[in-house]
Amino acid sequence: MNLKKGFLAACCVLAIGFLHAQNTKPGLYHEPFRPQVHFSPPEKWMNDPNGMVYNKGVYHLFYQFYPDATVWGPMHWGHAESKDLIHWQQKPIALYPDSLGYIFSGSAVLDVHNTSGFGKNGQAPLIAIFTHHDPKGEKAGKADFQNESIAYSLDDGKTWTKYSGNPVLKNPGIKDFRDPKVMWFEASKKWIMTLATKDRVTFFSSLNLKDWKKESEFGAQLGAHGGVWECPDLFPLSLNGKIYWVLLVSINPGGPNQGSATQYFVGNFNGNSFIPKNTATKWIDYGPDNYAGVTWSNTGKRKIFLGWMSNWLYATQVPTVKWRSAMTIPRELSLQEVNGDILLASKPAKEFDALRLSPKVVKNAQVDGSLNLTNKFGQLPKQFELKLSIKEVKDFSINLSNTVGEQLIIGFDKARNSYYIDRRKAGESSFNKDFAAIHYAPKLSASKSIDLTLVVDAASVELFADNGLSVMTSIFFPKKPITNLQLQANGSLFTDLEMIPLKSIWK
């Protein structure tokens, strides 16, 4: 090694040491409970994902954001961008409250044909469609304090100009009149807005995103009604060459496991009205912590979903200090036929696989009573995927625990034909009386076996069972990281197992 090379090598070692120190230093993205494979804001309050649109190789994620506190307040649209749906770059706030009110949830589209006329020099504008929520009107007891407005961007989402003619859709006197999700309906060459209007959704159409006409209503007598309807989404998905329309509707409260949750309907949409194929209530995720989720627009046939990983029951009380809330991992949606019914399945988007490190695999492990896998896998990494493939449908549980005896139990209860997540002893829960609970999700698949993927992060678990048909998302707040893994079964059970450590998205 000559002197020059030696000097360079020394510099490299120093630089790596410095970077390492930076990465391991406590601080931003290293705080207790800070998700390592999920998007969370650097600081302060976040709720619903908004304005998700894909354009020029970039996934935009806007979100309900209050930059002055870690509780809900006057809403802004925060903004982050990603090239791969996984690694996010924080951007300046996109939309601020103004004289018409706070900026509530909504969507964004690429106006390819410049129907709005906001485009310039052949540049198609991005258009955000959102609810203006007027707090003064609300306080005064008026009914029309939520109205729909638009803003446009000609620099790929960097800066936004609100339309001078706002609001573009005036409230006819309905207290809950919000969360516009807009899509292009090619068959009639018009825009369709799906809007949450109290206990139903209302469809509106427009040729230019500025003038809106009511088409029809859906759902006053259908689905779950334990709370107000919010954050709808409408999109087509194909199955065996046939197109079906999926309508997502979040409701709060009234979810299957208390509080906030998202139901869906599968049916047909003809540009005017939505006709469901089947009217039984269905949930996209049975866990307590996936709310207000919608799909990215402009992603072609792929439908990629992201939800807010919290619940209005306790969102403002969870024990994170610098920030509050994270998003789910992005999920690819698809349809599956089960016993003649068409169901919606969610699976981690394939981009997520890029985070995988070398897996630890055990084939045909026998669980007879209990099997401690910490001996085989060593201490669990901070974030990981766990895959189980069990050839029969039987009671079993996965026990994830830490050195202070806290445990998160995920399992299957055959008598109930349900998966469950038990977070009763999984860490801090004193902040809300409803938090420490066990939640169930029915096994919807007709299969005689069980396949299960868990995505475990610092303060959350996501369960995808049976090809994404039974899904649960649950947050939890362990005082020490989860390090031990144990399987439990009554009698003997055989399973293939894979534990896949995941890289942090913040490094």
Q: Please, what sign has the CA dihedral across residues 21, 23, 28, 33?
A: negative
Q: Contact 314/324 with Cβ under 8 angstroms?
A: no
Query: Which residue, 215 or 230, is less far from ligand FRU as judged by CB?
Result: 230
The CB-of-179 to ligand FRU minimum distance in angstroms stands at: 5
Q: Examine the residue annotation and report whether 341 is marked as an active-site residue of this protein.
A: no
Return all residues near 438 (Cβ < 8 A) that are at least 6 apart.
420, 421, 422, 423, 424
One DSSP character per residue, 231-270 reads EEEEEEEEETTEEEEEEEEEEES--TTSS-EEEEEEEEE-
The CB-of-494 to ligand FRU minimum distance in angstroms stands at: 43
**Residue given tokens 């806007």 in the structure block:** 62
Task: Give the interface with ligand FRU as residue ranges (CB under 6 A).
Answer: 47-48, 64, 75, 104-105, 131, 178-179, 230-231, 292
| Dist CA 387 CA 347 (whole Å) | 13
3-class secondary structure per residue, 126-158: EEEEEEEECHHHHHCCCCCCEEEEEEEECCCCC
Dihedral (C-alpha) 482, 433, 308, 72: value to the nearest 10 degrees?
-120
Query: Which residue, 314 or 352, is less far from ligand FRU as judged by CB?
Result: 314
C-alpha gyration radius of the chain: 24
The CB-of-358 to ligand FRU minimum distance in angstroms stands at: 39
Q: Of 48, 285, 289, 422, which is the active-site residue?
A: 48
| Dist CA 267 CA 236 (whole Å) | 9
Query: Which residue, 315 or 463, is less far from ligand FRU as judged by CB?
Result: 315
The CB-of-428 to ligand FRU minimum distance in angstroms stands at: 23
Q: Contact 132/74 with Cβ under 8 angstroms?
A: no
Residue 60 tokens read as 């935009």
Q: In 3-state terms, what secondary structure has residue 434?
A: coil
Query: Which residue, 64 or 383, is less far from ligand FRU as judged by CB?
Result: 64
Query: Which residue, 131 or 205, is less far from ligand FRU as judged by CB?
Result: 131
Query: Which residue, 317 or 403, is less far from ligand FRU as judged by CB?
Result: 317
Cα separations in angstroms, 179 against 148, 249, 281: 8, 11, 21
The CB-of-134 to ligand FRU minimum distance in angstroms stands at: 13
The CB-of-64 to ligand FRU minimum distance in angstroms stands at: 4
Catalytic positions are: 48
